[in-house]
Amino acid sequence: MWLEWLERLKLFNKEVATALLVAGALFMEILDATVITTALPVIAADFGIAAAHLSIGVSAYLVAVTLFIPLSGYVADRFGARTIFVAAIALFTIASVLCGLSTNLVEFTLARVLQGIGGAMMVPVGRLVVFRDLPKEQLVKTVAIITWPALSAPILGPVIGGYIATHFSWQWIFYMNVPLGMLAIVATLYLLKNTKGEVGRFNLKGFLLTGLGFALFMAGIEYLASNTDKLLHAVGIIFTGLLLMILAIRHVKRAAFPLFSFDAMQYKTFRLSVYGGSVVRIALGSAPFLVPLMLQLGLDYTPVEAGSLLLWLFAGNLAIKPATTWIMNTFGFKRVLIVNGILIAAGFIALALITKNTSSLTIGIILFINGVTRSMHLTLLNTIAFADVPAHEMRDANTLSAILMQMNRGLGITLSALAIAFATFILDQHASSPDLSTFTLAMLFMAFIAFISIADSWLLSKEDGDSVLNKRKDKKQTS
């Protein structure tokens, strides 16, 4: 009742509040993928094991999220979006408590898997609730709200995790999700309707092929990065994952009741977000992993100094936000995607040119500019992806997009580790002690990846995506 009263007084906008709720859930999910990275040595000491063994706590979470995302669209239509969203938040919160209560690696890994399942249900269902009935003219503003967690969480995660582990206890990294989860559940019950969709028989074969294919593909690349001397084993895992994904695509196209479809791929703007968008997201996903390592291992910065410099990247993310809508409306998607893609590649080249004599201020400015281009590009891609997708195909488009974004996030980290491993091999260095030249090659590799993503943007017309850009749409109608 009080929400309706505030809405009448223009003090409350339900669409914006719903977008903020989903953004908060996305922030929790992404944050917990990275927040423990700087706290691993402390947690490992508590468990009495080597810190390297705790990497399974990171990978188990990412694999669980990837494995269960294909299920999200089906269960939301089957049981209702609000029901699943609340259940997912509750599971995520309970699993966070179990992580904090863990006393050994097995308990911790199982709790992280539960967290991943909650995250896999939470974020795609929340995005579906927001996008399904959203008017096209509100898409730009809403996407800008939902995009900020993907920008900030990977950067803030290591800083927050290190601070909590140093000044409090590592358990509070997970316990802090409890009040956030409870607040999100209350907000969900007020804001969301329990919308259901038409569903057929559950496609178990499609779920297993899709989930296991993605999981094995990601696990194989991570294994290759950690075990460059076991190339055949890694290639075998990667090949198995690719084979399962090919079989999954073939099955989804033929199944009577698929978990999701590829119908949205008929829209050029959505295809852009899948092909070129995936490539540039991989490059962008590498920065929160590569930059702290380069600062500490290549330039001898302390963890605190490295974390402080990384905040320049976060500042750039935030600084450009107020101008993103104006830039899109003024120049259109094609022009901005091409120019911004070139700037992203140039940003990685600038990082590759850093030497031990480069001042902290100069590094901070480079990171700030990289944060600006990073924020701009992700907002563009997330907006244009759904510009031409009709409401009745939004569920499948959202599920496919969520799967790919999760893969891109994981691949950004694993390919970074792989780039470092190959750089140390090429430079004939010891894998445990890479120097600045190692990161120079890794940054150049990411610059190349970012640059080739521009090819897809050239295929756009100047008008593609204008349906969601109010000023350009109004200009066409008056001309």
Q: Contact, 123 vs 26, CB < 8 A?
A: yes
pLDDT digits (tens, 9 = 90+) for 133-167: 666 666 666 666 666 666 666 666 767 776 776 67
Domain closes at, from 256, 277, 297: 256
Q: Contact, 358 vs 295, CB < 8 A?
A: no
φ, ψ (nearest 5 deg) of residue 168: -125, -120
pLDDT band at 209 (very low <50, low <70, confident <90, very high): confident
pLDDT band at 26 (very low <50, low <70, confident <90, very high): confident
Select the highest-mean-pLDDT range: 32-36, 69-73, 238-242, 328-332: 238-242
Domain closes at, from 256, 274, 299: 256
pLDDT band at 479 (very low <50, low <70, confident <90, very high): very low
What is the b/e burial string over 257-280, where b = at least 16 CB atoms within 10 angstroms of the residue's CB? Answer: ebbbbebbeebbbbbbbbebbbbb
357-367 average pLDDT score? 93
For the cut 90, the answer to whether the pLDDT of residue 370 exceeds it is yes
pLDDT band at 367 (very low <50, low <70, confident <90, very high): very high
218-245 average pLDDT score? 78
Q: How far apart are the first and last CA of the chain?
A: 45
156 and 292 in a single domain? The answer is no
For the packed helices 81-101 and 55-79, what is the interaxial angle rounded to 10 degrees? 160
274 and 321 in a single domain? The answer is yes
Range of the domain at 16: 1-199
Q: Contact, 407 vs 218, CB < 8 A?
A: yes
Give Cβ neighbours of residue 440 (< 8 Å, ≥ 6 apart). Answer: 352, 353
pLDDT digits (tens, 9 = 90+) for 240-251: 988 998 898 888
Q: Contact, 378 vs 284, CB < 8 A?
A: yes
pTM of the model: 0.72
249 and 292 in a single domain? The answer is no
Per-residue confidence (pLDDT) for residue 52, from 0 to 100: 52
pLDDT band at 60 (very low <50, low <70, confident <90, very high): confident
217 and 90 in a single domain? The answer is no
pLDDT digits (tens, 9 = 90+) for 424-470: 778 776 655 677 888 899 999 999 999 998 888 888 888 877 777 75
For the cut 70, the answer to whether the pLDDT of residue 55 exceeds it is no
190-206 average pLDDT score? 75
Q: How far apart are CA 2 and CA 382, in angstroms?
A: 33
One-letter amino acid at 380 equals L
232 and 364 in a single domain? The answer is no
Give the tokens for residue 170.
């590592």
289 and 394 in a single domain? The answer is yes
Domain closes at, from 156, 171, 199: 199
Per-residue confidence (pLDDT) for residue 435, from 0 to 100: 79
For the cut 60, the answer to whether the pLDDT of residue 279 exceeds it is yes
474 and 367 in a single domain? The answer is yes
162 and 217 in a single domain? The answer is no
Could you give the count of Cα atoms lying within 13 Å of 210 in the half-sphere of its Cβ? 27
Residue 161's closest CA among 300, 57, 64? 57
pLDDT top residue among 346 and 57 = 346
Give the tokens for residue 166.
């140093």
305 and 220 in a single domain? The answer is no
Per-residue confidence (pLDDT) for residue 3, from 0 to 100: 45
Q: How far apart are CA 334 and CA 457, in angstroms?
A: 6
Give the tokens for residue 358.
């480069």
Q: How far apart are CA 313 and CA 307, in angstroms?
A: 10
pLDDT top residue among 167 and 372 = 372
289-315 average pLDDT score? 79
Q: Contact, 137 vs 468, CB < 8 A?
A: yes
Give the tokens for residue 398.
């959202």
Residue 66's closest CA among 397, 385, 405? 405
pLDDT top residue among 383 and 54 = 383
221-234 average pLDDT score? 70
Per-residue confidence (pLDDT) for residue 2, from 0 to 100: 41
The DSSP secondary structure of 133-155, one letter per residue, reads: T--GGGHHHHHHHHHHHHHHHHH
Give me the number of domains the chain comprises: 3
For the cut 80, the answer to whether the pLDDT of residue 227 exceeds it is no
pLDDT top residue among 316 and 30 = 316
In this structure, of 117-131, 253-267, 405-419, 459-473, the range with the lowest mean pLDDT score is 459-473
The C-alpha angle with vertex 113 and arms to 109 and 116, in degrees rounded to 5, equals 135
239 and 271 in a single domain? The answer is no
Domain containing residue 308: CATH number = 1.20.1250.20
48 and 170 in a single domain? The answer is yes
93 and 137 in a single domain? The answer is yes
pLDDT digits (tens, 9 = 90+) for 108-142: 889 988 988 888 888 777 777 766 666 666 666 66
